[in-house]
Amino acid sequence: MTDSELNKNYLKTLIVLYVEDDIDVREQLSQYLRRRVGVLLIAKNGSEGLEIYRKEQPDMIITDILMPVMDGLEMAAEIRKTDFNTPIIVTTAFESSSYFMRSIDIGVDKYVTKPIDTASLDNAMQKCANRLKINEQLRLAYKVFDNSMEAILITDANNNIYWTNPAFTNITGYSNEEVIGKNPRLLSSSKQDATFYEAVWTELSTKGYWKGEIWNKRKNGEIYPEWLSINLLLDARGKVTHHVGIFSDISDHKAAEDKIKYLATHDPLTGLPNRNLLSDRMKVALAHADRKQEQVALMMLDLDNFKRVNDTYGHKIGDMLLIEVAKLLVGMFRASDTICRLGGDEFVIVLNDIADMTYTCRAAGNILKTITPELAIEDHAMGISPSIGIARYPKDGMDLDTLLKNADIAMYSAKHNGGNTFHFFSEDTN
């Protein structure tokens, strides 16, 4: 569709005010206009036209100049006192330069002489319609930018801030007035080094755009993650005129992502590593033991009488007991060791860098001394005790599954012998 066709279609959506005192001219041209515009409003003089304008707010005005009561230029002058955007086309039988100059001073958009050549009038209306269409597009674009949930930052060719939208203020805390003329580096968190920014500008200059995750700093000093895209705007000669940055705060997204990762590797009740993280840490522990020619001890711990706690006091107390046991275990071991909850009342402790079993036996003894039947939750003695089974790498197994199975066998041996003790795995036990 050509520009002319687009303008004609747009004209059919507009409200046009036509002001003419000559009844014959008015009736003849009105028929022509009705076929080309959306709604046609008609007035017999400038005073009546001004009244209709104030009431209906038409999109375009076509008016004669010489009319009784108030002429067309007087009406146009009154309109221009408050409205600089509505296109005004004047028609007159007089080709007087004074009328022409006065029309320019008032701010009339087009000047068509009588007798009216409909092609000239149609051309003038199309040009005015095109301007209205462009203005509407600009207003729409501004409204989109103004109401965007994403922050928009525009800088000039020297990368000084030229314009921002309200979302920019909402995210960064800086008002538009505070940042105009400044370099966007005022948002830098210093978490990315010079090499990072060099790579950004290299990609911008070669591709014309860049997008990725970046850490920036709010006005209050808070550092936050954002997803940022930058595009270059070029003139007809290919020279950069502006940079447009669009970004959103992804703090919630990152927090949710971190939570998902955490839940994938940790027990939600106690916060201890789960089977997935145990598997990863065990691989590291075994590889380290091989390099150092040392041992790894894996303890399986089960709480004697835990079912009775749930049955007697309820699952809430049972959960509180598991949380307390987890805290006690964490406090007993080195940072290099791993304490894991497999589920229920089963815990696994992995001891690294073991030259002999002295440390392992001492650690198991400490557990028995700490987790005793007198351990209380909300003033209720729990009456529980631990049964511990221990398997050693490489003696009792070469991988996690085998070590867990053998530690489990040793643990049930301890439980079978009355609980509140620890047993090492042996083939005899098996």
Return the closest-CA partner of residue 298 out of 167, 398, 368: 398
201-255, pLDDT tens digit by residue?
999 989 999 999 999 999 999 999 999 999 999 988 889 999 999 999 999 998 8
CA dist 399 and 402 (Å) reads: 6
**pLDDT (mean) for 82-105:** 79
CB atoms within 10 A of CB 175: 13
Please determine, for residue 95, whether its predicted confidence score (pLDDT) is greater than 70.
Answer: no
pLDDT at 3: 75
pLDDT at 103: 76
pLDDT at 145: 85
Which domains, from first to last, does the chain contain? 3-141 (3.40.50.2300), 151-253 (3.30.450.20), 266-424 (3.30.70.270)
Cis check: omega of the bond before 394, within 30 degrees of 0: yes
CB atoms within 10 A of CB 421: 17
pLDDT at 49: 92
Q: Of the ranges 3-7, 313-317, 412-416, which one carries the lowest mean pLDDT score?
A: 3-7
| 234 residue type, one letter | L
Please determine, for residue 312, whether its predicted confidence score (pLDDT) is greater than 80.
Answer: yes
Q: Which residues contact 385 (CB under 8 A, 6 or more apart)?
A: 303, 304, 305, 368, 371, 372, 373, 419, 420
For 284-296, the DSSP string reads HHHHHHHHHT-EE
Residue ranges with strand state E in 56-126: 60-64, 88-92, 110-113
Please determine, for residue 119, whether its predicted confidence score (pLDDT) is greater than 80.
Answer: yes
Whether the CA torsion 142, 146, 151, 157 is positive or negative: it is positive
181-196, pLDDT tens digit by residue?
999 999 999 899 989 9
Residues classed as catalytic: 345
CA dist 378 and 261 (Å) reads: 33
Q: Of the ranges 59-63, 93-97, 246-250, 293-297, which one carries the lowest mean pLDDT score?
A: 93-97
CA dist 383 and 254 (Å) reads: 43
Q: What is the pTM of this model?
A: 0.62
* Residues 419/425/429/430 CA torsion (nearest 10 deg): 120
Three-state SS for 32? helix
Q: What is the CA radius of gyration of the chain?
A: 41
Residue 302 sits at the vertex; the CA angle it makes with 297 and 308, to the nearest 5 degrees, is: 170
Question: Is residue 270 within 8 Å of 276, Cβ to Cβ?
Answer: no
Residue for token pair 């808070």 = 222
Whether the CA torsion 74, 75, 76, 81 is positive or negative: it is positive
CA distances from 309 to 33, 304, 315, 348, 380 (A): 90, 10, 8, 21, 10
- Please, how many CA atoms are within 13 Å of residue 169, restricted to the half-sphere of its CB? 13
pLDDT at 96: 60
Question: Is residue 58 within 8 Å of 49, Cβ to Cβ?
Answer: no
pLDDT at 97: 63
